[in-house]
A and B are shown apart, each in its own frame.
Chain A
């Protein structure tokens, strides 16, 4: 059978409210612990000499992306099951737009700055 485990839906017709829990207390607790750790790490990176100074922004971005991943998986329950496919496609589109808008703006404005005559 090519589909993953759907046994919990077996006794229900389509469109009927589902009763099954989407997560457990453990999911939220683990997510919270990860999020708190990553937040502490972000503050530690800026407040201590742990990282080579010019590498700090890169470290912060990596920690932020990790934390966004933790929030998506543990709090928003974006999983890899067939139920999540539509949500992930929409999320990928959103991430693509974010990359274009933020990355594009920074690139274009930095380029403009570099080529502008000093005032």
Chain B
């Protein structure tokens, strides 16, 4: 407690979420706010997960889960997403260490791997649609397309956001407000992986059994 008891010294030791030493750093506040948004997004996904879990067996004599699932593709998709998250983390480290060149390389890797995931997912969707496994075919397929499609839509949004962030780093450099936006993007991208763990387990692995 030496810092706090010294006369005139700002007790910065207490300034981290205890309410004793002044406001929390902007970075902490921004990350907390974005974390709340992510949790609200996760809450929306839980509704879709619940709908899928309830409707998974309602196939109306149409295609079942094991008919439409290609586990080999799903495995490649999963590895792409994990590698993409890894590259995103290393990119965040490069940004924290103020190395914009390295950040841009990792951002490009993150983007490429995310795009590869999306490409496989969309080509699988096209194959399903060609085979007549469209959302209107059965309650199972409605729930499947909504849940998996919503995750894919989030990945698409993430890719657009990532391209925008790379442009900001290239144009403005790693300024504090750009770093805060990068932090939010990292949270978003890693959280999408958590959603994918749920999709992989509930939809693909349990469905293919």
Q: Which residues of A contact B (CB under 8 A)?
A: 1, 3, 6, 9-19, 21-25, 27-29, 31-32, 35-36, 39, 42-43, 45-47, 56-57, 60-61, 63-64, 67-68, 71-72, 75-76, 82-83, 85-87, 90-91, 93-94, 97-98, 101-102, 104-106, 109
Contacts and interface: CB of A to CB of B under 8 A. Distances in A.
Interface stretch (B48-56, B118-126, B154-162): B48-56
A71 B189 CA distance: 11
Contacts of B190: 71, 75-76
Given A3-B13, A15-B23, A29-B86, 17 more contacts: A3-B18, A10-B3, A14-B24, A19-B96, A25-B90, A39-B82, A43-B205, A46-B71, A64-B198, A71-B197, A72-B194, A75-B85, A76-B190, A86-B32, A98-B46, A101-B43, A101-B49
B17 A102 contact: no
B108 interface: no
B1 A1 contact: yes
B201 A35 contact: no
A10 B51 contact: no
B43 A98 contact: yes
B200 interface: yes
Contacts of A93: 39
Given A25-B90, A83-B17, A86-B32, A106 B53 contact: yes
Interface of B: 1, 3, 10, 12-18, 21-28, 31-32, 35-36, 39, 42-43, 46-47, 49-51, 53-54, 71, 75, 78-79, 82-83, 85-86, 89-90, 92-93, 96-97, 176, 179, 187, 190-191, 193-194, 197-198, 200-201, 205-206, 208-209
Given A17-B26, A24-B93, A93-B39, A71 B193 contact: yes
Given A60-B201, A98-B46, A90 B93 contact: no
Contacts, number: 160
Contacts of B89: 23, 27-28, 31-32, 75
Contact of B46 (A9, A71, A101): A101
A63 B50 CA distance: 19
A105 B54 contact: yes
Nearest to B26: A15
Given A17-B176, A24-B93, A101-B47, A43 B75 contact: yes
A54 B190 CA distance: 32
Contacts of B194: 68, 71-72
A19 B97 CA distance: 8
B28 A57 contact: no
A9 B201 CA distance: 41
